[in-house]
Every structure is written in C-alpha cells, then in structure tokens.
Chain A
Amino acid sequence: MKELKKIAHPYIPNTVPEIKDQMLKEIGVKTVEELFAGIPEELHYREEMNISKALSEYELRRYINGIMSKNISTTEYLNFLGAGCWNHFVPAICDEINSRAEFLTGYAGDPYEDHGRYQALFEYQSLMAELVDMDVVNVPTFDWAQAASTSIRMASRITSRTDVLLPKTISPDRLKVIKNYCSPYLTVSLIDFKEDSGQIDLDDLKNKLSSNTAAVYFENPSYLGFLETQGQQISKLAKKHGAITIVGVDPSSLGIVEPPSHYGADIVCGDLQPLGMHMNYGGGQSGFIATHDDIKFVQEYPSRLFGIAPTVSEGEYGFGDVYYDRTSFAQREKGKESVGTQTALWGITAGVYLSLMGPNGMYELGKSIMQKSQYAMQQIGSIPNVVASRFESTSFKEFVVDFSYTGKSVKVINKYLLDNGIFGGKDLSEDFPELQQCALFCITEIHSKDDIDHLVSMIKQCINSK
C-alpha cells in the first residue's frame, strides 16, 4: 500500500502542505520563515521547546483523566467546607445552557451578532435586581472579593474620601484582595466584633467613623456564618457621617432574609457561585454589584451595564451598553477602574438558576438551609465539650464549632474525618487568634439527615479515641 501523506493537525486546517504552498505563492513569499523576517535574529528562539510530542484525542483524554483521577471530589467524600465557596445543588439546565457552544464560545460581539448574549445578561441583571430589591446590577465581575473592592472604590469616588471600615470577621482572603486593590489610595481599618455574638461593636464603629470615612462595609451573613442584626443602626451611623453603606451578601439567603437595601445599604455586593455554579476548586466564583438607579452611583461603575431599548422595527427589543463613556474601554486610564473579561457566563447561568427557582424555590432553599444547619448545630452541640455555635447570634448556612474544650485540635479532628471520607470544617485557628481550635462548618440544602448524623458520629468517635 502507498504510504499516506502527512496528515494535517485536526485543529490546524492549513497545515496541509499543498494549501500552505498555494497561500505562500499568492502572498508572494517562498517560506513561512520570511513572514517572521521582522524579528531580529538575536530574538529568534532557535531551540526546541521542552514540551512532549502531540497526543491524539484518545491518548489525551486517557492521560489527563489519569492524572485528574488522583483528586478526590465532594461526590466521593462528604463535604462540610464552605468559607466563600459552597456546595449547592446545580440544576441540570444550568449546565445545559452554559455548555451551549453559542454561549460558551461567544465573546465580545455587538448586539447584531450577539443579541441573545445581551438579552441573557440583561435578564440576569433584572433577576438579580429582584433578589436584592434594587434597580441596577452590573454584568458580573470576578468574585465577591473584587465586587467588594470595586464597591469600596466606587464609594471613595462618590464621597471623595479615603478611609474605609470593614468588619474584623471578614474572610482573610477577601481582605487581602481588598487591601491590595485599595492601596495606595485608601486606608482600610477593621471594626471589632462582640465576643459573644460576633456582631459589629457599635462603640468601636462610632469611634472609627470620621469625616474622612468613605464607606462602612459589612457582610450578612458574615464570613463566620452569623447574621448581623444591626444593619439599620450601622447604615444610620454611616449616613450620619456622610459615608456610604456597602453590604456583602450571600444570595442564597435572600429568599428568606431581608435584602440589605431594606436596612439602608447603598451598594450591595456578593458572590453568584451559589446560584447554579459548580465549585470548580474556586473557579465558579463570580461577583455582583447592585445599587439604586442614581446617576451618582451608576456613573461610578467600571463594569458593563446592559440596557434595553427599542429598535427601528416595531415590537422588537434591542440592547446596548449604558453610559459606555464611564469605562476604561472608552477612556483608558481616565475611565472608572478597568473592565474586560470577567465572568459573564456565570451571570447568564445565575439568570437561568433564578428563572428556574422563582420566589418559591428561593424561599424553600433558604428555609431548608436554615432547618438543616440548625439541626446540624444542635447535634454537633450535643457532643460533650463541643460548642456549636461559638457565637450566640443566629447563623445561616455556616457556623463556628468550638473544639477547644475537647483536648483535640481541629487539625487532628479534620485528619480523622478525612481518613473517614469527610471534609471537615475550615480550621480558623490560624486566621483568627480569638478562635483557637474553632472550625467553620457549612450545611446546605444538599446535606441529608444521614450525612449530618454521620458527621456527628465521626466527630464523637474522634473525640473519644485516644
């Protein structure tokens, strides 16, 4: 049999030698090398990169899946970790829509090529607006940390002030992002919390508020899971000093918990990941920002904001960018912060999720998280020498378990749980000196009574073991 010709790479059609030659001829050059003539010889890389030879599709799948099989996922082990990324139920329709090649491989087309993308993101903004009860929501940013950072800088521009106050209970990683994003312009200070309840210490807040405070930022639920009940007082205090109130919120709570706009928040932000995104080792995070429809606020968004408009054809919806001149796309360094690729597909997905859930779904979600987490707290708290929760405030989804009276460290307990197929709560000992041998446990709608009972019996076993 005659030897077959060199086969082109499946992803690179013009590696077919005859076609390549024909194109070179049309351009009027002899070799591809000539096209790189502008690169000086000293910059030409003449070595072969140390990257292994190409794998075929089958070989590739087998090779990478082989490496990835070393991971143990939360479908194999019981997971009680949260702390900013949460194990929720993801409806099949969410995956169906976000893996559609149209959305998956779309990018930055105009409304005439990408009408569907504009409509889906406008709808996401609109659905999210109902959840937070505000009139403006952005095309999503990277994650909660970025949403909080940008909210803070928006507040700083609106007030022309540079001090911001954050709660001491904030996620340490989120704080790192905010600090880096705010430096060197803004000064970040932390407000104390009350030892028993975790609630913001209003006296400390009063002491720290000044005529240079741009914003007071707090979270509901807090990073440590408890609900902050003094929202109204905090926002009143902020307002009295001419500062803006920013609240970070977990959207999965908003079917049952008042949205921050009802207790005085001017800017609301948070993470969309609970609304239909798989955890993806943190790759499902996506940040939202919401405000009232007040030009003072709208003009400070760096993000894209899609708006609705008529077209020249009667009865047609059209979409486009609202106040584009705000953005760095339009104004480079004179625009508001910067904009670019962020997490639009997760915005579309969150829209799908909220459309599926409706008001009843969101209510049931909140209710079931409350019931299951309260049950878990009750059961864990009934283990001798274990305190759940460490704070007397009401918790949503996450709560702090204090193991300090058991004589065993969180590290030891978590190792025992891991050996028994359980990812235990996040160890807080390192990040919070006040919370030595405490761990943050997360319970969502996906946990069954059996899951919780199993966790409890494993903790008991561990504590009783020598």
Chain B
Amino acid sequence: MQKINREHKVRNFHQAKWDEPIIFELHNSGERGVSLPKVECEIVECVGDGVSALPASLIRKSAPELPEISQNRVLRHYLRLSQETLGAAFNVEIGQGTCTMKYSPKVNEEIAASPKMTELHPLQDESTVQGLLEVTHKLDLCMREISGMDYFSFQPGSGTQSLFTMASIVRAYHESKGEGDQRDEIITTIFSHPSQAATAAVKGYKIITLYPDKDGFPDLEKLKEVVSERTAGFVVANPEDTGIYNTRIKEFTKVVHEAGGVCYYDQANANGLLGITRAKEAGFDMCFFNLHKTFSTPHACGGPATGALGVVAKLKQFLPGPIVEKQGNQYILNSDLKHSIGKVRSFQGVPQMIVRAYAWIRSLGAEGLKDVAEIAVLNNNYLYHHILKIRGASAPYIKGQRLEQVRYSWEQLTRETGVSTDDISRRMADFAHQYWTSHHPYVVPEPFTLEPTESTSKSDLDEYIASLTHIAKEAYENPEKVKNAPYNSSIHRVDEQDYFDNPEKWAITWRSYLKKVKEVEKIRS
C-alpha cells in the first residue's frame, strides 16, 4: 500500500458554497419558525384581544412582509451562511493585521453563557449582581497593573467608542479649566486608526495629522512645530500600524504636556506590550484596550465588544458613569462623578466581555501574559524575516524594530507584474486565508498588514508564508490567474463599482433590490 502524498505546501482548499437563496425566497405561506407563550383564557376574558385597545390610527394596517419559514429551514439557512464565513477559529488567522485575531477560548464562552450572566437585568438591585461587579472590579485591578493607569471604565462598546470617550474627556477637562474654547486642536498620526481622527472631529476638534519621518517614526520635529496653546490633546498608537515602536514616545508626551495638552494612548492592540512596557511610564494620561483584541473576547463579526478605558487619577471624575467600586466588602455602582461627561453607552456597556476577558487573564497569570507578548513578537519577527524573502515584497521604513505586526508593500511586485494587493487579497481566499491591505489613504504603496498573535504556531506561520510565496510566484508567471481570483471561495468576483456607488443601482435591502430590478425591466419593456 502506498502512502498518500501530503507534501503540498499550500492548502488544497475550497470554501463551503451553498448557493443559498436570500431568506425572503424561502417563504412558504403559513409556515412558521417558532411559537410563543400562550395568553391565558382568564386574561383574554378580562381584556379582550389587546390590539383593539390601541388608538385606531396606530393599529398597523398591513402586516410587515417578513417571510414565513419553518424552524429547521431557518436553522439550515443560517448554518449554511455561517459555513460561508471564515471565522478566526477556522483559519491560520494572521491576515487581519491590527485586529489581533487570537484564539477565543471556549471555556470563556461557556462561563459567559451562564444564566448568571445572560439573564441579568441592568437595573437589578446592586445586592443581586455582586458577582458581576466583583469580576468587573477585579478586571479593573488587572488592567491597572498592565497599564499603570489609576482607574478603568468598561462602558465604551468598542475601540472607536473609547476614542470618542477620551476625546469627550479631553474636552470636559479643558472646559473645567476654562480653556475649552481656546484648545481646539487634536494631534494624531497617519499610521493610526482612522477613528482617532474621526472621533476627535465628532467632538468638534480640528485635526492635525503627523506623517512619518524617513524611518517610519512619527515626526517629532513636526510635533514641536504644531503644538501650541491651542493643543487640546495628542492621540497615538505605539506601535502604530507599521509595527514600529516609537522609541522617543516619552519625548512626544512631554512636548504635548508642556503645551498643556492631554495625551491619550490608543492601545486597541497591545499584544506585544503585556508586561513589557506601560502607558503610565510613557507619559500618557489615558489609554484603552480592546477586550476583543489583546484580551481574547470574540470579534463577533464586529461586536458586541468592550473598550476598557483607563485614566490617571486626575481624570477619574470625568469618566462616564456609573463606575464600579469596592466599598468595604460590597461592590457598588458609583455615579458621584463631579465632572462626568455623562454616558457613552446604555447601562454598563457589554459586561459579558468583562467576564470573558477576566477569565482569559486568570488563565494566563502575570507570567503567561508576558509570554503572550513575547511569543506574539517572536512570531511576527519570524513572519517578517520570511516575507522579506518573497520576490516583490518589502517592508518600508527602518529595518527591524517591529513588534507585533508589520505593514508590508507589494510595490515592486505590482510594478513588475501588474498584480495589485487587492488581487492578492482575493487570491488568498482560495487558500483559506484572511488578508488585509491597510486603512486609507494608502501611504505605503500596495500595502498589506499582517499580525500573527501568540495563538499561531510555527507550522501555521509556515503555511501562511507558503501561500503568499505561491501567489507571488504565480503573479510573476501567470498574473491573470491572480487577477481573476477567487476560484475556490463561496462566490466569484463581485461587480463592485456600479452596484455600490451608483444610487440608481445600489440596493441596501431586498425590497429595494426588487423595486430597482422591476424599474429596469419596466424601462426595457
């Protein structure tokens, strides 16, 4: 008997392709997916049908045109759609750089799915949620250790909402000192998340964006030029999207502080820094961590999520309330915050993520957290080392000095083959990989951003490298093959431009699609 040959380095993959109709096409009049609790006869006797008690003008005249579908068909439909989604649990998750796509442990899901979490009402008496408040307080203490900050709020529902909260605090802080109108500028950098600039603009700030110097560091000389009595704050990630750690970060925060500004740190992704270096020592007044990035809570197709927001003591009174505090042996919700910005999210944010993140920290301990940072950085440097060997790939700016991620470029490959980073992105889907280019604008030409976390093994890394190597080779030998990808995805190339940017043709809902199709048919006939 001959051993089956398994020597191929790239995966012989085909994603699930169910060719599933749109849910409305599954409609069969009279079918239903679920039944509801009954209304007792005595209640009906007392109050009648309930609906006729509504003011006549408010009774719905025509039923919503929802589909009628049996339970198992609904289940089958959504199971099939789930199979056509490449979640982090399924693939060598390296390609969504800046997103820190690490393993989300199953035991944490199990804990968070307990009715002791899911069936809590946010306005229950404090005495009946002591367990949850205790976990919240304990996570706060861990976060203080990790960041050096003095107090954490878990109310923001994401990194973007954390950035918005911090911009709100910056404004409230300056207003409390009578400098609210004078300080109308926030400084950020081009290699940081677009939400840094966008949320500060929502709070009414003028945005000043620093560009990198020749080595890829934010330009310190430029910062010195732009700070003034108008500077309200400075927001930055470190490392930025390039993965380059800004060695002079303390000088940056010093310059801003001397001008009277507040420094806030985007630590959405802090995977390379746990136990290595902290926000406090770098001179920041605030920072936040995305629990769905560094702290392993699942990304959930884009939320629900939590941004854990830490502040130094002088800013505690500005936090959105209430905050969880320990008083004797009791945990309380404290709304007594003199300068509070109010609220940014209903109730206490997304507490089921607090429980997961705390469980994750406790499954690692201080030593394990440092291992996370070290291995994530080791993995990234291994990947970096090998990607640079691929023909046509490069990593602009300073050599080395990358922590947890790298922004690479296919500039040479595109010049030599005509194959773009977007083409490669589609082709990567054929090998079961996620792949992400960059935020806009593309400062690095033909960019791609990769971030292996500590969850990736050496063989995972080798597989990802082999796929990219294979595609780069293809680009040189048979560029059309890459340009026409994908072949093994659930779908083929989408007709992008015309259907998404033309108001005559875009259809954001099924009913809108049907109307527009009908319109065109009418014109044709």
Interface contact B34-A281, CB-CB below 8 Å: no
A356 in contact with B71 given A23-B458, A26-B382, A343-B304 (CB within 8 Å): yes
> Does A464 count as interface, using CB distance less than 8 angstroms?
no
Residue interface mask B23-54, A partner, CB < 8 A = 1:
11000000111101101101110111111011
Q: Which residues of A contact B374 (CB under 8 A)?
A: 32, 35
Kindly identify which residue among A110, A111, A281, A360 contacts B129, using a CB–CB cutoff of 8 Å: A281
- Asked, given contacts A39-B247, A55-B363, A68-B117, whether A107 binds B302 with beta carbons under 8 Å apart, the answer is yes
Identify the stretch in A80-88, A211-219, A402-410 within 8 Å (CB) of chain B at 4 or more residues. A80-88
A51-B142, A180-B168 known; 11 new pairs, CB 8 Å cut-off, are: A13-B455, A61-B111, A103-B85, A106-B85, A142-B161, A312-B493, A324-B501, A345-B300, A351-B23, A360-B63, A423-B123
From the candidates A106, A285, A332, name the one contacting B88 in the complex (CB within 8 A). Answer: A106
Q: In the assembly, what is the distance between CA of A63 and CA of B366, in Å? A: 17
* Complex CA distance for A176 and B337, rounded to whole angstroms: 14
Q: Are B109 and A109 in contact (CB under 8 A)?
A: no
Interface residues of A in 81-131 (CB under 8 A from B): 81, 83-85, 87, 89, 91, 93, 95-117, 119-123, 125-127, 129-131
Answer whether residue A1 sits at the interface, using C-beta atoms and an 8 A cutoff.
no
Whether A143 contacts B509 in the complex (CB less than 8 A), given A39-B277, A102-B90, comes out as no
7 closest A-B pairs by CB: A282-B347, A370-B50, A356-B33, A116-B84, A318-B494, A309-B499, A340-B160
Query: Given A35-B378, A101-B89, A142-B158, is A258 in contact with B59 using a C-beta cutoff of 8 Å?
Result: yes
CB < 8 Å: which of A174, A310, A363 contacts B499?
A: A310
CB proximity to A under 8 Å, residues B442-464: 454-458, 460
B372 adjacent to chain A (CB < 8 Å)? yes
Q: Is B486 an interface residue (CB 8 A)?
A: yes
Stretch in A200-208, A239-247, A442-450 with 4+ CB within 8 Å of B: A442-450
B245 within 8 A of A: yes
Give CA–CA (A281, B350) in the complex, Å: 8
B473 at interface by CB-CB < 8 Å: no
CA distance A125 to B513 in the complex (A): 12
State whether the Cβ of B218 lies closer than 8 Å to any Cβ in chain A: no
Q: Are B303 and A51 in contact (CB under 8 A)?
A: no
B491, A308: Cβ atoms under 8 Å?
A: no
B290 closest partner in A (C-beta): A341
Taking a contact as CB atoms closer than 8 A, the residue among A108, A111, A135, A344 that contacts B99 in the complex is: A108
Judged by a CB distance under 8 angstroms, whether A465 is at the interface is no
Q: How far, in whole Å, are A319 and B46 apart by their CA atoms in the complex? A: 50
- Chain A hits for B77, CB < 8 A: 355
A461 within 8 A of B: no
Interface residue from B110, B207, B305, B493 paired with A333 (Cβ < 8 Å): B207
A:283-309 near B, CB below 8 Å = 283-286, 293, 295, 298, 305-309
The yes or no answer to A338 lying at the interface (CB within 8 A) is yes
Query: In angstroms, how far is the closest chain A Cβ from the Cβ of B139?
Result: 11
Provide the bound-state CA to CA distance between A341 and B281, in Å.
Answer: 29
Give the one of B102, B118, B511 with max A CB within 10 A. Answer: B118
Chain B residues with CB below 8 A from A434, complex form = none
A54 at interface, CB cutoff 8 A = yes
- A97 to B23 alpha-carbon distance, docked (Å): 15
Q: Which residues of B contact A343 (CB under 8 A)?
A: 157, 302-304
Nearest CB in chain B to that of A14: its residue:
B375
Do B59 and A313 have beta carbons less than 8 Å apart? no
Query: Which residues on the A side are within 8 Å of B31 (C-beta)?
Result: 358
Contact A368/B39 with A130-B64, A256-B51 known, Cβ cut-off 8 Å: yes
Residue of A with least CB distance to B190: A332
Question: A340 to B195, Cβ gap below 8 A?
Answer: yes
B352 to chain A, nearest CB (A): 5
Verify A44–B103 contact, CB threshold 8 A: no
| List of A residues within 8 angstroms of B513 by Cβ | 308
Does the CB pair A143–B60 fall under 8 Å?
no
Residue numbers in A under 8 Å from B489 (CB-CB): 112-113, 115
* Among A61, A181, A324, A342, contact of B110 (Cβ-Cβ < 8 Å): A61
Closest to A313 in B: B492
Q: Bin the interface of chain A by size.
A: 35 or more
Is residue B107 contacting chain A, with contact meaning CB distance below 8 A? yes
Question: CB distance B64 to A254 under 8 Å?
Answer: yes
Specify the chain A residue showing the minimal Cβ separation from B489.
A112
B87 CB–A CB distance under 8 Å: yes
Q: Which of A36, A121, A340 has the most CB of B within 10 A?
A: A340
A390: Cβ under 8 A from any B Cβ: no
User: Nearest-CB distance from B322 to chain A (Å)?
Assistant: 10
Known: A51-B145, A333-B200, A365-B36. A101 touches B42 (CB 8 A): no
Which of A112, A361, A365 gathers most chain B CB within 10 Å? A112
Q: Knowing A13-B457, A23-B378 touch, does A40 contact B439 (C-beta < 8 A)?
A: no
Please give the distance in Å from A318's CB to the nearest CB on chain B: 3
Can you identify 24 A-B contacts, CB atoms within 8 angstroms? A11-B363, A54-B362, A68-B114, A70-B131, A71-B117, A97-B78, A97-B82, A105-B90, A108-B99, A113-B434, A122-B508, A146-B345, A177-B343, A183-B171, A185-B204, A258-B58, A293-B512, A295-B503, A320-B500, A328-B198, A342-B303, A345-B304, A352-B74, A356-B34
Q: Are A22 and B365 in contact (CB under 8 A)?
A: no
Scan A1-45; emit 1 where CB is below 8 A from any B CB, else 0. 000000001011111000110111011110010011111101111
Cβ contacts under 8 Å, B366 to chain A = 48-53
- A223 vs B320: C-alpha distance in the bound complex, in angstroms? 21
Q: What residue in chain A is nearest B65 (Cβ atoms)?
A: A130
B121 touches A112 (CB 8 A): no
Determine if B362 and A63 form an interchain contact, defined as CB atoms under 8 angstroms apart: yes
Q: Is A346 an interface residue (CB 8 A)?
A: yes
Beyond A278-B118, A278-B119, whether A348 also contacts B301 by CB under 8 A is yes
The residue in chain B whose Cβ has the minimal distance to the Cβ of A74 is B119
Q: Which of A42, A57, A307, A312 contacts B492 (CB 8 A)?
A: A312
When A19-B458, A281-B121 are in contact, do A329 and B81 touch as well, CB less than 8 Å?
Answer: no
B230 at the interface (CB under 8 A from A): no
**A114 contacts B85, CB within 8 Å?**
yes
Which residues of the partner chain B approach A346 to less than 8 Å between Cβ atoms? 303-304
Complex formed: what's the CA distance from A37 to B245 in Å?
10
For residues 75 through 127 of chain B, which have their beta carbon under 8 Å from a beta carbon of chain A?
75, 77-90, 96, 99, 101-105, 107, 109-111, 113-125, 127
Interchain nearest-CB distance for B12 vs A (Å): 17
Chain B positions within 8 Å of A20 at CB level? 375, 378
Are A145 and B277 in contact (CB-based, < 8 A)?
no
Mask, B127-164, CB within 8 Å of A = 1, is: 11111101100000110011000000000011111011
Assuming A105-B89, A361-B36, is B43 touching A344 (CB within 8 A)?
Answer: no
User: Given contacts A280-B118, A321-B500, A394-B54, are A45 and B160 in contact (CB under 8 A)?
Assistant: no
Q: A180-B344, A338-B199 are in contact. Are A105 and B82 (CB under 8 A)?
A: no
Query: Shortest CB–CB separation between residue A339 and chain B, in angstroms?
Result: 7
Q: Is B385 an interface residue (CB 8 A)?
A: yes
Which of B82, B345, B454 is A116 in contact with, Cβ under 8 Å? B82
The answer to whether residues A83 and B123 also contact, given A71-B129, A125-B509 and a CB cut-off of 8 A, is yes
With contact pairs A120-B81, A185-B204 given, residues A53 and B365 touching in the complex (Cβ less than 8 Å): yes
User: Please, how many angstroms separate the alpha-carbon atoms of A364 and B44 in the complex?
Assistant: 13
A435 vs B66: C-alpha distance when bound (angstroms): 39
Expressed in whole angstroms, the Cα–Cα distance for A110 and B355 within the complex equals: 30
Is B328's beta carbon under 8 Å from chain A? no
Contact A71–B160 (Cβ < 8 Å): no
Please measure, in the bound complex, the distance between the C-alpha atom of A432 and the C-alpha atom of B40, giving whole angstroms.
35
